[in-house]
Chain A
Amino acid sequence: MSRPNNGRVFSAVLIKDLRIEFRSRVLMNQVLPFAGLVMIMFAFALDNDDVLQRVAGGLVWLATLFSSLIIIQRSFAVEAADQALDSLRVAGIDLAGVYFGKAIALTIKLIVLDFVLLVTAMLLYRVDLTGSGLVLLVTCVLGSTTGLGFVGTLYGGLTAGAKGRETLLPLLLLPVVAPVLIAATRATEAAFASGGAQTSEGWAWVGLLAVFAAVFGVGGSLAFGPLIDE
């Protein structure tokens, strides 16, 4: 009998999650339109080109957080529908591998989401991007989506089968990701040069995003299994 190993579990779960998205197109057909709609609603609410340009970074990351709640719920609704995650648990599959697989799949979906949101912001809110700003922005997206992927998978797994999960997930997740919102917003503003911010100011925030992702990557891989266990 071959023992399951981490890397194998990781890649199997990652491929499986991306394949499910590819088949069902929930991100494509539902989450992205929702996120785009939110960006338009922000413009209606703020109704001022200068203000929009100034706060574009914050709006992108707010839209990311709210959309991520939907993506996370979906990611675990798929597992709960026919108790597939339960089967993995029953089979003693390495849950740290499952955790990283699901977290990275979530990260990839968030990267797609943020790409669309950032392009939307540039078109709708008329923000400009320089070459060095682009490098900062890409790094910022990678750092924050990885952090969100780790935290989201952790709390998504905890609330997966629970009663009232729709409300419990935001209550648990949003306070935890406050540092991501702050850091990613400041870094994005630096990249967009909003309010005269310098690109160099953004890199310190990217450092914070990296620390956040590392802390919750390690913490999450240890905590995920015990959290979803019966």
Chain B
Amino acid sequence: MSQLVTSTSATGTRATRVLGLLAILVMLWVVIGGLVFTPQDVVQGESVRIMYVHVPSAWIAYLAFILTAVASASWLIGKKHSMGFDRFAGASAEVGVMFMAITLVTGSLWGRLTWGEFWQWDPRLTTTAFLFVTYLGYLAVRRLEGSAEQRARRSAIIALLAVLEIPLVHFSVVIWRSLHQGATVLNPSGDVKLDDLMLFTLFSGVVGFTLVFFWLVLHRQRTMLLLDVVNRRGLDTAIANRRAEGSTN
């Protein structure tokens, strides 16, 4: 494992630098395009610009949790129980929780502007909020004391249980709302007529956020790897010390 870490001073590689540069370029366009070049919406006016942040971050949040689940399943199924999967699952969930928070904040701001309310008991919103809390729990489980393998096993199982849970939550909220309200509240973006430039900017946002996501996850899982390496080196030293102690007695 330690030979993987040749330059211990940084978590970047040539690939991540290229990825980071690409992310900056695309995001630069999203910022300029989203704030300057794209037109206002007929109904929503300037507030439609939140869409260029909100929709991509929601997409990333869900992508992150799917990737966490896939990585967790890979760790469980794989005979070798490769810790790389565990680190990727954890890194993806951490970054995903951040994007989920961005989604909830931008969504409620947007909701305030278009509906006049910060919050609606819309199934999609409610499920997103539950997903957020569920993955806060997942991160808490990752922080429980225990060996690295124990942590990987527990958190992988919790991630897969969340995959069982989220559809049940979503489904129950859907029928709950459909019984109590005639029509469900439409997501604000459903009301928006998008022209080509707006679509292109939204698409760029999705691409840009995806690049940022992977850049963050790669670096995060690399810091996790470094942490493991440090721990193992600590173990080597400790073994040597204890052996020395044992043979002098």
Is B176 a contact partner of A186 (Cβ separation < 8 A)? yes
Give the distance to chain B from A86, nearest Cβ to Cβ, in Å.
Answer: 14
Query: Within B165-224, which residues are at the interface with A (CB < 8 Å)?
Result: 165, 168-169, 171-173, 175-176, 179
Residues of chain B lying within 8 A (CB to CB) of residue A131: none
Residues of chain A lying within 8 A (CB to CB) of residue B147: 230
Give the distance to chain B from A195, nearest Cβ to Cβ, in Å.
Answer: 10
Residues of chain A lying within 8 A (CB to CB) of residue B150: 229-230
What string of 1s and 0s marks CB contacts (under 8 Å) between A169-205 and chain B?
0011001101100110010000000000000010010
Alpha-carbon distance between A201 and B146 when the two chains are bound, in angstroms: 47
Alpha-carbon distance between A204 and B160 when the two chains are bound, in angstroms: 27
Is A163 a contact partner of B145 (Cβ separation < 8 A)? yes
Is A215 a contact partner of B168 (Cβ separation < 8 A)? yes
What's the dominant secondary structure at chain A's contact region? helix
Task: Answer whether residue A88 sits at the interface, using C-beta atoms and an 8 A cutoff.
Answer: no
Task: Answer whether residue B124 sits at the interface, using C-beta atoms and an 8 A cutoff.
Answer: no
Task: Answer whether residue B164 sits at the interface, using C-beta atoms and an 8 A cutoff.
Answer: yes
A172 to B, closest residue via Cβ:
B137
Alpha-carbon distance between A230 and B161 when the two chains are bound, in angstroms: 19
Residues of chain A lying within 8 A (CB to CB) of residue B173: 178, 182
Other-chain residue from A162, A171, A212 in contact with B137 (beta carbon distance below 8 A): A171
What's the dominant secondary structure at chain B's contact region? helix
A219 with B130, Cβ < 8 A, contacts A178-B169, A182-B172, A230-B147 known: no
Is B146 a contact partner of A230 (Cβ separation < 8 A)? yes
Is B176 a contact partner of A175 (Cβ separation < 8 A)? no
Residues of chain B lying within 8 A (CB to CB) of residue A229: 150, 153
Top 9 A-B residue pairs of the complex, sorted by shortest distance between their CB atoms: A179-B172, A172-B137, A175-B133, A179-B168, A182-B172, A223-B157, A175-B134, A171-B137, A176-B165
Is B136 a contact partner of A171 (Cβ separation < 8 A)? yes
Q: List 12 A-B contacts (CB under 8 A).
A: A162-B144, A168-B141, A171-B137, A172-B140, A172-B158, A175-B169, A182-B176, A201-B179, A215-B164, A219-B164, A227-B157, A230-B147
Task: Answer whether residue A92 sits at the interface, using C-beta atoms and an 8 A cutoff.
Answer: no
Query: Within B137-159, which residues are at the interface with A (CB < 8 Å)?
Result: 137, 140-141, 144-147, 150, 153-154, 157-158
Alpha-carbon distance between A179 and B172 when the two chains are bound, in angstroms: 6
Residues of chain B lying within 8 A (CB to CB) of residue A204: 175
Residues of chain B lying within 8 A (CB to CB) of residue A201: 179
Residues of chain A whose beta carbon lies under 8 Å from any beta carbon of chain B: 154, 158, 162-163, 168, 171-172, 175-176, 178-179, 182-183, 186, 201, 204, 208, 211-212, 215-216, 219, 223, 226-227, 229-230
Alpha-carbon distance between A199 and B153 when the two chains are bound, in angstroms: 44
Residues of chain B lying within 8 A (CB to CB) of residue A179: 168-169, 171-172
Other-chain residue from B130, B137, B146, B171 in contact with A208 (beta carbon distance below 8 A): B171
Other-chain residue from A162, A171, A186 in contact with B133 (beta carbon distance below 8 A): A171
B132 to A, closest residue via Cβ:
A175
Alpha-carbon distance between A57 and B124 when the two chains are bound, in angstroms: 25
Is B165 a contact partner of A175 (Cβ separation < 8 A)? yes
A175 with B140, Cβ < 8 A, contacts A182-B172, A183-B172, A230-B146 known: no
Alpha-carbon distance between A212 and B154 when the two chains are bound, in angstroms: 21
Alpha-carbon distance between A154 and B137 when the two chains are bound, in angstroms: 14
Alpha-carbon distance between A172 and B130 when the two chains are bound, in angstroms: 11
Alpha-carbon distance between A216 and B169 when the two chains are bound, in angstroms: 13
Alpha-carbon distance between A108 and B81 when the two chains are bound, in angstroms: 38
B126 to A, closest residue via Cβ:
A178
Is B141 a contact partner of A158 (Cβ separation < 8 A)? yes
Give the distance to chain A from B170, nearest Cβ to Cβ, in Å.
Answer: 9
